[in-house]
C-alpha cells in the first residue's frame, strides 16, 4: 500500500481541481483547529471528561435546531475539542431519545460511532464534517421523540442495583426473562463493577439474540461499546442502561421467554448447535472451496441449513474466515440485486456481528455470533429477494470493466456512473480496485467526501462506514468485490449537495 505521504501527494495533485470532490468548497476547514489522527484514535486509558461536559450536553439538548451548529462551531473555534463534542453528542442522545424501536429516530444515537468512523477515515481537514452532520441528526430525532411522548432516561433505582459478585448473574437472569426493571438495575451494576470487556461479552450475546429490528440490536451493542472506548468508560452506566432497555424491545410480541416467536428460533437452535463445534475450530485453514460451499448454502438454503453448514465446515478444518468471507459476499450481493433498507442492513448488521466476533474472547459467545450471522444473512435474503426479484447479478460473477488510466479520472468516472448505471460503476470499481491496494484509500476518500456533501440520511453514514471498514475484514479477492458492491448505496457525483452540507460549511467557515 502507498505510504501516507504518497497518498496525500496523490490527493493534492490528482484531486485538487476535481469537480467530483469539490475540494475548493472545503478550503475554509484549514482555518479551524485541526483534528489530528492521534486525537481521533481510540485512547482506552482515557476514562474521564473535562468538568464542563454536562453544560455541553445541555447546549446540544437546549439549542434550537436552526442555531445549534452555529453555537457549537463558535465553541470549536474557541478551542472546544473533538472528543468532548463526540462525548456530549452520545450522552445527549442516550438521555433524550427512546431506544425503541432500535432504529428509526434512534439512528441519531446509532450513527454517532459511524460519524466518528467517518472522521477516522478522513483527511485531518475533514474530520469535523460528519460530527456536525450527526449533531443535526440528534436535533431532528430529539424533536421526533418529543412528539412521540418525550422519553427521558430516568434515575436508577439504587436499592436494587446488585453488588459486584451478583451483577453478571443478575443481568443474565433479567435478560433471559425479558424483565425490563431487573435488567435496568443489573445494567447499572455491570457498569459499576465489571470491566469494559466483561460487559461487552454479555451485551454482545444478547445483541445477537433475536432478529427483531433487523439487526439494529447488534449494531447498537457494537457502536455503543466502540464509542465508549473513545469518549471514556466513565459514562458507561447510562449507556448500558439505555442499551439493555433497547435490547429488550419485543415490538408487539408477548414475552419471548414464554412464547415461541419466529424472531427467536434461530437463537434457540444455535445455542444448542454451537455445542457441536469441535474444539480448535478457530484455528482452521482458509479454504476457498469451503467459502464457495458456504456461499452456495447461504444463497439457496434455509437459515437452519446455513448454520448446519457452518458447523460442518468448521469441523472439517475450514477457518472461520472461510465462513465470514461468504457471509460478507452474500450481504454485498443482496445490495446489488435489490438495493434498499433490508439489503443495506444485511451489510451493517454483518459488520456489527463480525466486530463482536472479532472482539469477544469467550469461546461460546464467538461460536454463537458466527452462527447467528449466518442465520441473519439468510433471513435478510428472504426479506430482500421476494417474488419477482432479480436472481442476478452474482457477486462472484461480476465482470470488471475497463476504467480510465489516470487515477483521478478513473475515480471520477466511477462515481459519475454511480449516479446513473450502478452496475457499470461496480464493474469499473472492481477493475480499478483489482489494480492494487494503493488504490483503495483514494476510492474510500472520494466515497466518504461525497457522503459529506450529498448524504441526507443516517443510513448513508451508517452504511458507508460499515462497508468501507469491511474491506479490511474480508480476504483478498472477495474484498475487492465486496467494496465494489458498495456503490449500489454510496452517493454518486451527480446527486445534489444537501442544504445541510452547505449549512455546515457556512457554520464552520463563518
Which burial class, exposed, middle or buried, applies to 162 when counting CB atoms under 10 A from its CB (0-12, 13-18, 19+)? buried
Q: Which of 399, 469, 417, 502 is nearest to 117 (CA)?
A: 469
Which burial class, exposed, middle or buried, applies to 359 when counting CB atoms under 10 A from its CB (0-12, 13-18, 19+)? middle
What pLDDT is attached to residue 33?
62
- Which residues neighbour 304 within 8 Å (Cβ) at sequence distance 6 or greater? 266, 269, 375
C-alpha cell recorded at residue 251: 415490538
Sign of CA dihedral 112, 118, 121, 127: negative
Q: How far, in Å, CA of 339 to CA of 465, rounded?
A: 17
Q: How far, in Å, CA of 12 to CA of 117, rounded?
A: 23
The number of helices, as runs of H, and strands, as runs of E, in the chain is 24, 0
Whether residue 434 contacts residue 440, with contact meaning beta carbons closer than 8 Å, is answered with: no
3-state class (DSSP) for residue 189: helix
Whether residue 345 contacts residue 317, with contact meaning beta carbons closer than 8 Å, is answered with: no
Q: How far, in Å, CA of 404 to CA of 65, rounded?
A: 44
Q: Which of 112, 139, 121 is nearest to 225 (CA)?
A: 112
**Based on C-alpha coordinates, what's the Rg of the chain?**
22
Whether residue 208 contacts residue 372, with contact meaning beta carbons closer than 8 Å, is answered with: yes
Q: How far, in Å, CA of 374 to CA of 277, rounded?
A: 15
The full DSSP string for 421-437 is -HHHHHHHHHHHHTT-G
Helix 478-485 to helix 458-470 angle, to the nearest 10 degrees?
Answer: 170
**What averages of pLDDT result for each successive group of 10 residues across the chain (510 residues)?**
37 40 55 58 35 84 95 94 92 92 91 90 83 95 95 90 97 98 97 96 98 96 94 89 96 97 98 98 97 97 98 98 98 96 97 98 98 98 82 94 91 97 98 94 94 92 95 97 98 95 87
Go through the chain and tell me how many residues it has.
510
What pLDDT is attached to residue 121?
79
Whether residue 42 contacts residue 102, with contact meaning beta carbons closer than 8 Å, is answered with: no
Question: What is the dihedral angle through the alpha carbons of 389, 395, 401, 403, rounded to the nearest 10 degrees?
Answer: 110
Q: How far, in Å, CA of 226 to CA of 44, rounded?
A: 10
Q: Which of 349, 223, 369, 207 is nearest to 282 (CA)?
A: 369
**Phi/psi at 285 (5° precision):** -95, 145
What pLDDT is attached to residue 392?
86
What pLDDT is attached to residue 25?
57
Q: How far, in Å, CA of 63 to CA of 451, rounded?
A: 26
- Which residues neighbour 300 within 8 Å (Cβ) at sequence distance 6 or greater? none
- Which residues neighbour 140 within 8 Å (Cβ) at sequence distance 6 or greater? 65, 105, 108
503, containing H or E segment = helix 499-509
What is the model's pTM?
A: 0.89
What pLDDT is attached to residue 366?
98
Cell numbers 460499515: residue: 466
What pLDDT is attached to residue 35?
62
Q: How far, in Å, CA of 133 to CA of 27, rounded?
A: 18
Helix 407-418 to helix 422-433 angle, to the nearest 10 degrees?
Answer: 150
Cell numbers 461499546: residue: 225
Whether residue 381 contacts residue 330, with contact meaning beta carbons closer than 8 Å, is answered with: yes
* Residue 105 C-beta-side C-alpha neighbours within 13 Å: 21
Q: How far, in Å, CA of 369 to CA of 372, rounded?
A: 5
Mark out the alpha helices in 165-215 (DSSP H runs): 167-177, 180-193, 196-207
Cβ-based neighbour number of residue 12 at 10 Å: 11
156 DSSP assignment: -
Cell numbers 454518486: residue: 492
Identify each DSSP E strand in 302-382 by its residue range.
Answer: none
Helix 422-433 to helix 478-485 angle, to the nearest 10 degrees?
Answer: 150
What pLDDT is attached to residue 144?
95
Cell numbers 444537501: residue: 498
Sign of CA dihedral 303, 305, 306, 307: positive
Please state, in angstroms and as integers, the Cα–Cα distance from residue 216 to each residue in 111, 222, 228, 250, 351, following that order: 11, 10, 18, 13, 11
Amino acid at each position: 500500500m502507498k505510504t501516507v505521504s504518497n497518498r496525500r501527494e496523490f490527493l493534492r495533485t490528482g484531486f485538487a481541481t476535481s469537480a467530483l470532490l469539490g475540494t475548493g468548497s472545503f478550503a475554509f476547514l484549514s482555518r479551524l483547529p485541526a483534528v489530528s489522527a492521534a486525537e481521533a484514535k481510540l485512547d482506552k486509558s482515557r476514562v474521564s471528561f473535562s468538568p464542563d461536559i454536562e453544560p455541553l450536553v445541555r447546549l446540544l439538548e437546549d439549542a434550537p435546531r436552526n442555531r445549534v451548529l452555529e453555537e457549537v462551531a463558535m465553541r470549536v473555534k474557541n478551542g472546544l475539542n473533538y472528543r468532548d463534542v463526540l462525548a456530549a453528542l452520545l450522552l445527549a442522545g442516550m438521555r433524550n431519545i427512546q431506544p425503541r424501536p432500535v432504529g428509526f429516530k434512534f439512528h441519531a444515537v446509532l450513527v454517532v460511532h459511524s460519524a466518528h468512523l467517518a472522521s477516522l477515515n478522513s483527511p485531518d481537514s475533514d474530520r469535523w464534517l460528519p460530527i456536525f452532520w450527526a449533531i443535526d441528526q440528534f436535533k431532528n430525532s430529539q424533536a421526533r421523540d418529543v412528539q412521540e411522548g418525550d422519553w427521558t432516561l430516568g434515575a436508577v433505582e439504587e436499592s436494587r442495583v446488585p453488588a459486584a459478585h451478583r451483577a453478571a448473574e443478575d443481568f443474565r437472569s433479567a435478560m433471559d426473562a425479558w424483565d425490563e426493571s431487573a435488567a435496568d438495575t443489573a445494567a447499572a451494576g455491570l457498569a459499576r463493577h465489571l470491566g469494559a470487556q466483561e460487559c461487552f461479552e454479555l451485551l454482545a450475546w444478547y445483541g445477537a439474540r433475536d432478529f427483531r429490528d433487523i439487526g439494529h440490536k447488534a449494531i447498537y451493542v457494537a457502536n455503543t461499546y466502540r464509542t465508549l472506548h473513545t469518549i471514556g468508560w466513565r459514562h458507561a452506566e447510562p449507556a448500558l442502561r439505555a442499551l439493555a432497555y433497547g435490547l429488550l424491545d419485543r415490538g408487539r410480541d408477548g414475552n419471548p421467554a414464554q412464547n415461541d416467536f419466529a424472531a427467536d428460533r434461530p437463537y434457540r437452535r444455535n445455542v444448542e448447535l454451537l455445542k457441536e463445534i469441535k474444539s480448535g475450530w478457530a484455528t482452521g485453514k482458509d479454504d476457498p472451496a469451503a467459502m464457495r460451499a458456504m456461499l452456495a448454502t447461504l444463497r439457496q438454503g434455509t437459515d437452519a441449513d446455513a448454520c448446519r453448514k457452518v458447523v460442518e465446515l468448521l469441523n472439517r478444518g475450514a477457518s472461520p474466515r472461510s465462513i465470514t468471507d461468504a457471509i460478507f459476499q452474500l450481504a454485498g450481493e443482496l445490495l446489488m440485486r435489490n438495493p434498499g433498507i433490508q439489503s443495506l442492513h444485511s451489510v451493517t448488521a454483518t459488520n456489527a456481528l463480525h466486530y463482536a466476533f472479532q472482539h469477544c474472547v469467550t469461546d461460546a459467545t464467538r461460536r454463537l455470533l458466527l452462527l447467528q450471522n449466518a442465520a441473519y444473512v439468510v433471513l435478510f435474503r428472504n426479506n430482500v429477494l421476494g417474488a419477482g426479484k432479480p436472481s442476478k447479478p452474482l457477486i462472484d460473477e461480476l465482470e470488471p470493466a475497463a476504467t480510465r488510466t489516470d487515477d483521478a479520472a478513473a475515480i471520477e468516472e466511477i462515481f459519475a456512473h454511480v449516479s446513473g448505471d450502478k452496475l457499470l460503476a461496480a464493474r469499473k470499481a472492481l477493475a480499478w480496485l483489482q489494480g492494487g491496494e494503493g488504490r483503495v484509500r483514494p476510492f474510500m476518500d472520494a466515497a466518504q467526501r461525497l457522503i459529506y456533501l450529498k448524504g441526507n440520511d443516517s443510513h448513508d453514514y451508517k452504511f458507508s462506514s460499515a462497508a468501507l471498514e469491511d474491506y479490511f475484514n474480508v480476504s483478498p479477492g472477495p474484498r475487492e468485490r465486496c467494496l465494489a458492491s458498495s456503490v449500489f448505496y454510496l452517493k454518486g457525483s451527480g446527486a445534489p449537495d444537501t442544504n445541510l452540507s452547505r449549512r455546515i460549511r457556512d457554520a464552520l467557515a463563518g
